[in-house]
């Protein structure tokens, strides 16, 4: 995968655990997370969800629970971004 530096910076900014945003990104990209209309994600949405994550498992779990409770995927991303800080 060839990454633009600005995308790496966005994904990793603010974390205290540098491996976690990448782990979050890969777990979503791997097709294990349904965003409400399938498991194929736009890569930018994955970056938005995983940006600055300190705990990949918690970030992904937060998103899955929020969508499972009926929250729109966009709102779930925003909610889970704040929940991990």
Residue 28 lies in a domain: yes
Residue 54 lies in a domain: yes
Total domain count for the chain?
1
List the domain range (segments joined by +) for residue 76: 17-32+40-83
End-to-end CA separation in angstroms for the chain: 28
Residue 10 lies in a domain: no
Residue 73 lies in a domain: yes
Contact call for residues 41 and 28 (beta carbons, < 8 A): yes
Residue 11's pLDDT is what? 95
Question: pLDDT of 35-81, one tens digit each?
Answer: 999 999 999 999 999 999 999 999 999 999 999 999 999 999 999 98
Question: pLDDT of 18-32, one tens digit each?
Answer: 999 999 999 999 988
**What's the number of CA atoms in the CB half-sphere (13 Å) around residue 31?**
1
Question: pLDDT of 2-11, one tens digit each?
Answer: 789 999 999 9
pTM (predicted TM-score): 0.91
């Amino acid at each position: 995968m060839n990454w633009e530096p600005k995308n790496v910076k966005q994904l990793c900014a603010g974390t205290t655990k540098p491996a976690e945003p990448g782990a979050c990104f890969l777990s979503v990209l791997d097709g294990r997370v349904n965003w409400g209309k399938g498991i194929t994600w736009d890569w930018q949405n994955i970056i938005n969800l995983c940006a600055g994550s300190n705990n990949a498992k918690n970030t992904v779990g937060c998103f899955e629970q929020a969508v499972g409770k009926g929250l729109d995927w966009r709102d779930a991303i925003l909610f889970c971004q704040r929940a991990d800080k």
